[in-house]
Amino acid sequence: MGRIYAVANQKGGVGKSTTAVNVGGYLGEWGLRTLLIDLDPQSNATSGVGVAHAPDRPSVYSVLIEGRPAAEAILPTSVPGLDLLPSDIALVGAELELTGLPQRDSRLLYALDGMTRRYDYILIDCPPSLGLLTLNALVAARHLLLPVQCEFYALEGLAHLSYTLDLVRQQSNPGLELAGIVMTLYDARTTLSAQVVDEVRRMYPDLVFHTLIPRNVRLSEAPSYGMTIGQYNPRSRGGTAYAELTREIIARAAGESPGSLAGVGQPLSHAGALATTASAETTFETEPQVGAEAPEGVIDG
Ligand SMILES: Nc1ncnc2c1ncn2[C@@H]1O[C@H](COP(=O)(O)OP(=O)(O)OP(=O)(O)O)[C@@H](O)[C@H]1O
Ligand SMILES: [Mg+2]
């Protein structure tokens, strides 16, 4: 049976889509039947694997809102073994539309019925919010893959995610587990990146993947060519890091080590000394959305 991972963090620009596309790319390339589901109206995962916008094509919107079969909307990609359930701009209205529909938080779960027999891995790229789209992903998934950016406010806002996970577990998906924390946008030139990684590892020793995803210009270039890093530049530092992370995910899947998010959302211990006094709750509404900004201080691959 295939495994379903929600790639989620309500913080914007932390590397969710980059992780979903490139892990999905390697899984497919290595012969594992993989489905990438783009659940974000921004459609970054869709364009990231080179699938162009097409308004009349069935998409994750038609599956979630119109109840069309997922198989109708799934497309092959240029990566052998990797299929895509594409997003569509219509998904912008889906959060509102879902509120009026029956089983509003479990529509993706039902839509994916049978897909775990067809695929070894299903990765769901979530939007930067904890709305009904992300909720559908968390209800449908067995595992959460949590990308966390190596920055000062790394863990802020995760109290909300932890609370949402508890609710989902209590109400509809008791088996939901944290597959692991992926530290992204690591900058080896700064001590801050290393400090953040040390601190997150100290707090969640079993949850943080050993592989650090470096800030690497090749990773930001690849989507503009509609390629995964495995296609665009597998030898770059970003390419080798995502290959290594994918190996770790496969190994963890074989070993099944469940994780807990208990305590996530606590500020990092050094954070208090440096700046923040605001709680996760108060900063949640005002978090900057990094989005598609060009990364600074990019290191070439
Ligand atoms: N390791 C990296 N090195 C360099 N650039 C990166 C890296 N990871 C992500 N980026 C770039 O940073 C931006 C944000 O990344 P990405 O879109 O993956 O984040 P996201 O969490 O999916 O964002 P959103 O919350 O908007 O969906 C993109 O322009 C992406 O190309
Ligand atoms: Mg994204």
Residue 2 Cα to ligand 2 middle (Å): 23
Residue 278 Cα to ligand 1 middle (Å): 25
* Residue 151: CB atoms within 10 Å: 18
Residue nearest to atom 23 of ligand 1 (CA): 13
Q: Is 40 in the pocket of ligand 1 (CB under 6 A)?
A: yes
Residue nearest to atom 29 of ligand 1 (CA): 292
Going by C-beta distance under 8 Å and a sequence separation of 6 or more, which residues neighbour residue 211? 182, 241, 244, 245, 248
Q: Which is nearest to 8 in space by CA: 158, 188, 167, 163?
A: 158
Tokens describing residue 282: 């108060």
pLDDT digits (tens, 9 = 90+) for 70-81: 999 999 999 999
Crossing angle of the two packed helices 237-255 and 16-29, in degrees rounded to 10 = 70
| Top mutation candidate among 220, 225, 233, 242 for ligand 1, by most atoms within 8 Å of CB | 220
Residue nearest to atom 14 of ligand 1 (CA): 13
Q: Which is nearest to 68 in space by CA: 51, 85, 48, 92?
A: 85
- What is the distance between the alpha carbons of residues 42 and 14, in angstroms, rounded to a whole number? 14
Helix (H) or strand (E) holding 36: strand 34-38
Residue 115 Cα to ligand 1 middle (Å): 28
Q: Nearest 5°: phi and psi at 43?
A: 60, 30
- What is the distance between the alpha carbons of residues 73 and 63, in angstroms, rounded to a whole number? 8
pLDDT digits (tens, 9 = 90+) for 221-241: 999 999 999 999 999 999 999
Q: Does domain 3-284 have CATH number 3.40.50.300?
A: yes
Tokens describing residue 54: 């097409």
Q: What is the pLDDT of residue 156?
A: 83
Tokens describing residue 285: 């509404």
Q: What is the pLDDT of residue 283?
A: 26
Rounded to whole angstroms, the maximal C-alpha distance in the chain is 54
Residue nearest to atom 11 of ligand 1 (CA): 220
Q: Is 109 in the pocket of ligand 1 (CB under 6 A)?
A: no
Q: Ligand 1: which atom is nearest the Cα of residue 128?
A: 25
pLDDT digits (tens, 9 = 90+) for 17-55: 999 999 999 999 999 999 999 999 999 999 999 999 888
Overall pTM surpassing 0.85 (yes/no): yes
Which of the residues in the chain have pLDDT under 50? Answer: 258, 263-301
**Rounded to 5°, angle at Cα 4 from 31 and 128:** 115
Q: Is 292 in the pocket of ligand 1 (CB under 6 A)?
A: yes
> Position 46: which residue type?
T
- What is the distance between the alpha carbons of residues 26 and 228, in angstroms, rounded to a whole number? 8
> Position 192: which residue type?
L
Q: What is the pLDDT of residue 294?
A: 33
The runs of H, that is alpha helices, within 30-176 are 44-48, 60-64, 70-73, 94-99, 107-111, 115-118, 132-140, 158-171
Q: What is the pLDDT of residue 39?
A: 98
| Top mutation candidate among 7, 11, 18 for ligand 1, by most atoms within 8 Å of CB | 18
